[in-house]
Structure 1
Amino acid sequence: MSDPVLTLHDAQLSLDGNAGRVDILHGISMEVARGETVGLTGPSGSGKSSLLMLLGGLERATGGEVRALGHDLTAMGEDALARFRRDHMGVVFQSFHLIPTMTALENVATPLELAGRSDAFDRAAEELEAVGLGHRMDHYPSQMSGGEQQRVALARAAAPRPEILLADEPTGNLDGPTGQQIMDVLFGLRDRHGATLVLVTHAPELAARCDRQIRLRDGRLDMLAEAAE
């Protein structure tokens, strides 16, 4: 694969818990090309979200290598990782993670302000319009439905124009019709900004819209599933 945006080589993740050390990911090697859309699928507990966290530098691999845009994330300190995510990545979580004391406009503008953008609020307003929430800019999260909150989260992730967009179960907390709307918004943002998109999902219809699916099972790539396709 030429010019991969994301590369994992023998990436491993183990965490220490009350019951001792738990091995979560076992020797994951994969590449994601620029502009590609990849769905991470597999049973609950297979390591999908953990893999996404490695790709975003939100978890540090305990073995192997994780590279994004040519940078070795495993060699970066926490401050450098935070700056890298701010400048190059957008992350969307299932639970939205909006700031409850801020309006939709303020939530979307915050990462732009942190990046020093003088047009933070103009761009935030543009992104909210793009996801159909131009009429909700001054509303707080508690005044919005789950689908609206997820659209704010998507606008916030897309506003800095990241090269990489990561989404963890973006439709997981939503009903069917609302989830379909979020799918359309998510892929619309990808199309508008040309970002590379990696998403975790249990929804077959969302995975089917991706260019490629990567299945996990027990913390490993499901090579049997890959071979069957």
Structure 2
Amino acid sequence: MTSPVLSLNEVSLALKGNAGVVEILHGIDLQVAAQETLGLIGPSGSGKSSLLMLMGGLERATSGSVQALGHDLSAMNEDALARFRRHHMGVVFQSFHLIPTMTALENVATPLELAGDRDAFDRAAEELCAVGLEDRLDHYPAQMSGGEQQRVALARAAAPRPDILLADEPTGNLDGANGAAIMDLLFGLRDRHGATLVLVTHAPELAARCDRVVRLADGRISPMNEAAQ
């Protein structure tokens, strides 16, 4: 049997806030197979985004283990985690997180340059063309619509050819037409690069396109999981 790409065992997460320690996740057990598409759904505050951040090593589990591609993320320091993400993961945030002083081409090329790719700008241009932004390469984020900015963010995440693609509410800040276009692009990138895709969403139509759906409630995986139809 093939080892899972992502494996979480008895994972819990507690964060310190102004009112004291807040328990976010409780005893999460979850495995994700190679090239699987997994949707994480549930009400606001159920822990979906926190779970995604743990998968990407952007948050550290309070207890339990998080493994990605056979590597224990909890055993890595911040530099090692950054290198691992650079070579193996792409992350798409709801709020885009583009660098405002860089053009679309520069935003996409930057992670490739950091990884030592000599063809960083050619690869960046290729990915931007793939998401329909061949006429926007030299535009800055402020000169683009929300849908166009999310396309840049998708291109940036996909350009390093990641093994794992994580997306947190990728259509949450977009209108219906732009959201539908981003959904098509997201699954197209998965198909083109053969990545494992995990996404957090409130959109039923996006969850329905996943191979499997996991529902969270109060920081736990709900026993009433539903398979995507």
Report the TM range for the smaller structure's normalisation. over 0.9
Q: TM-score, normalised by structure 2?
A: 0.98
Do the aligned partners of 2:212 and 2:226 also contact (CA within 8 Å) in 1? Answer: no
State how far apart, in whole Å, the 1-side matches of 2:85 and 2:200 are: 18
Where does residue 220 of structure 2 map in the other structure? 220
Q: Secondary structure at the match of 2:5?
A: strand
Q: TM-score, normalised by structure 1?
A: 0.98
Gaps of 5+ in 1: none
Aligned-pair CA distance for 1:226: 4.5
Query: How do 1:6-17 residues align onto structure 2 when only pairs under 5 Å count?
Result: 6-17=6-17
Q: Secondary structure at the match of 1:215?
A: strand
Where does residue 206 of structure 1 map in the other structure? 206
Where does residue 80 of structure 1 map in the other structure? 80
Q: Secondary structure at the match of 1:174?
A: coil
Taking only the aligned residue pairs, the percentage that are identical comes to: 79
Find runs of 4+ consecutive structure 1 residues off by over 6 angstroms: none
Where does residue 135 of structure 1 map in the other structure? 135
State how far apart, in whole Å, the 2-side matches of 1:204 and 1:112 are: 33
Aligned-pair CA distance for 1:224: 2.4
The CA RMSD over aligned residues, in Å, is: 1.1
Aligned-pair CA distance for 1:225: 3.5
Query: How do 1:1-229 residues align onto structure 2 when only pairs under 5 Å count?
Result: 2-226=2-226
Aligned-pair CA distance for 1:10: 0.3
Q: How many residues align?
A: 228
Q: Secondary structure at the match of 1:225?
A: coil
State how far apart, in whole Å, the 2-side matches of 1:215 and 1:158 are: 26
Partner AA of 1:8 in structure 2: L
State how far apart, in whole Å, the 2-side matches of 1:219 and 1:226 are: 17
Gaps of 5+ in 2: none
Partner AA of 1:22 in structure 2: V
- How big is each residue's C-alpha offset from its partner over 1:127-148, in whole Å with a ceiling of 9 and x where there is no partner? 0000000010000000000000
